[in-house]
Chains A and B, each alone.
Chain A
Amino acid sequence: MKFDQARWITDEDRYEPLLAEKRSKTVSVDADDAGLPDELTRDELTLPSLSEPELARHYTRLSEMTYGIENGPFPLGSCTMKYNPSFTEDVAALDAGQVHPDRPAESIQGTLEVLFRLQEYLGRIGGMDAVTLQPPAGAAGEFAGILVAKAYHEANGEDRTEVIVPDSAHGTNFASGALAGFDVVTLPGGSDGRVDCEALENAVGEDTAALMLTNPNTLGLFERNITEIADIVHDAGGLLYYDGANLNALLGRVRPGDMGFDVMHYNVHKTFATPHGGGGPGAGPVGVGNELAEFLPEPRVRKTDDGYELFTPESSIGKVHGYHGNWLVLVKAFAYIARLGDAGLTDASAKAVLNANYLASQIEYDVPFEPFHHEFVASADADAADVAKRMLDFGVHPPTTKWPEAVEEALMAEPTEIETKRSLDQLAEAFNAVANESQETVEDAPNRTAVKRIDQATAARNPRLSWQALEFETE
């Protein structure tokens, strides 16, 4: 097996100047200052000045210097880095999808039908009665879901001030609870890596608005006591919130709604192969049980005798994004679900679990918590961040590191259903090669990548966030 990315041999190979550093020109502009104050206007502007082929080569080279799912395995645990099949892009590029959101409902019945059917699909997949497609990202879905829970309690005349989050939860859970105005109570995990029901009993009370949980949890472990957990929370008058980050492990087997969850968000980029948002357009639909449906964001889509129409739920919390959310991302999720169908989704989920278990069985690092589902957390016997950097030298993307904290020097791996046995073996070989190397070699990595070890401290202390902060020569 050949791992080397041999292009990166000398320091010169590893250097790609910024566009502005390649060639820049300073141009004078004599524009109307529109009454702006002097300190906000300028007469000269320095801009990159390159031919089209130079520009094309620059970006191609940058793409060669980075690593993505189209280069090789990308087992970033918890992030669920799937390859997104290109047919979803084709569907989203159809002319029929390019509609203005202000067009009257009767002229965009097809658009509304897609949205309605996606609401129905997601509701059926999650065991939820009503779904909003509006939130533009997973974390935005969490926030919207918690606001819905808050509105529900307020409508019942209850003043509940706390949201409980297990210490192993995704950081967004703590943030969503706090952003929605709740005090966030951290629940320590049990020794088996799962929720400790006794600790939960002690944590819940008349202040409890909700418990936010993901299942399987961040160690890939299924919360076996989920019905007991649901009872504890519900008996205290709280709601159970499902973080959809790990739904990929359960498709077609069990549904959050059936486990007792009242609210959930869907990470369509993790479960249904839409692009990861990365700050750009994403989607994080939210599903709820009947008793919470009236509080969902508006607009939602419903079917009437005359076709499809938009409506505002009775006690809606309002809008959390413009219009219907990020429509073309939703189209991709719809296309993926429709194409795979019940059997395909169930199969994808089973393969995600199988792949994680096969990979774990092939690596030499200890995996302290099992049996796990779609991801596992191994313990590196060295600094996990160094191990990860060294893995880059073997032509694979490393796993997530140092989290969850229940495992020392955690390596959290999630190959997803997309990998073949061959690429899983390549991944295992990279894990094992690094496991058997000297500390010196590992600490010195990466060496074969386009960029060697980055000085993280200086990058964090003195960030240069714009090319304009750099000094360069102009023509």
Chain B
Amino acid sequence: MSFEVPEDKQYLETHEWAQIDTDANTARIGISAFAQDELGDIVFVELPAVGDEIEQNTEFGVVESIKAVSDLYAPLSGTVSAVNELVFDTPELLNEEPYGDGWLLEIESIDTDETDALLEADAYEQQIE
């Protein structure tokens, strides 16, 4: 089974994605299509609040599915500027649109040097094959 891996995003080995806006120095964060399929039906999401700092490769939240509870790892460091409140009441968005309405956070003040540690789409696609 192959999963969608959009090329406009970069990936962490632990299956989180970041879509980076280099001009604004911001990024949007979510989980990959592969991740949501592995987790199964997602029923609960816990995220930091606007203003909180997150750190690359460090836990920033939790997703709970009917199978497991999993930590979310930050693909980049930054300050949370927006939280997708929709996923609290409709966590199924993570299953249905992991790259769209199922996004999790937006962060600002990112360090673009950190993107070196992320996987490009083709490398991530190889990892999940």
Q: Which residues of A contact B (CB under 8 A)?
A: 402, 456-457, 460-461
Contacts and interface: CB of A to CB of B under 8 A. Distances in A.
B64 to A, nearest CB: 8
Nearest to B43: A460
B43 A461 contact: yes
B67 A457 contact: no
Which of B44, B64, B66, B90 has the most chain A CB atoms inside 10 A of its CB?
A: B66
Contacts of B43: 457, 460-461
Contacts of A402: 67
B67 A460 contact: no
Interface of B: 41, 43-44, 64, 66-67, 90-92
A457 B41 CA distance: 6
Secondary structure at chain B's binding surface: helix, strand, loop or mixed? Answer: loop
A456 B67 CA distance: 10
A172 to B, nearest CB: 15
Nearest to B42: A457
A461 B43 CA distance: 5
A402 B91 CA distance: 23
B23 to A, nearest CB: 38
Which of B43, B44, B91, B92 has the most chain A CB atoms inside 10 A of its CB?
A: B43
Contacts of A456: 41, 66
Which of A402, A456, A461 has the most chain B CB atoms inside 10 A of its CB?
A: A461
A337 B88 CA distance: 50
Nearest to A405: B68
Nearest to B41: A457
Contacts of A460: 41, 43-44, 64, 66
Contacts of B92: 457, 461
B108 to A, nearest CB: 31
The 7 closest A-B pairs by CB, nearest first: A457-B41, A460-B43, A456-B66, A461-B43, A457-B66, A457-B43, A460-B66
A402 B64 CA distance: 16
6 contacts: A456-B66, A457-B41, A460-B64, A460-B66, A461-B43, A461-B90
Nearest to B67: A402
Nearest to A402: B67
Contacts of A457: 41, 43, 66, 92
A461 B91 contact: yes
A431 B22 CA distance: 57
Contacts of B64: 460
B117 to A, nearest CB: 24
Nearest to A457: B41
A460 B67 CA distance: 11
A384 B42 CA distance: 19
A402 B68 CA distance: 10
Contacts of B67: 402
A461 B90 CA distance: 8
B1 to A, nearest CB: 15
Given A457-B66, A460-B41, A460-B43, 13 more contacts: A402-B67, A456-B41, A456-B66, A457-B41, A457-B43, A457-B92, A460-B44, A460-B64, A460-B66, A461-B43, A461-B90, A461-B91, A461-B92
Contacts of A461: 43, 90-92
A461 B94 CA distance: 13
B78 to A, nearest CB: 26
Nearest to B44: A460
A457 B93 CA distance: 13
B8 to A, nearest CB: 30
Contacts of B90: 461
A38 B36 CA distance: 46
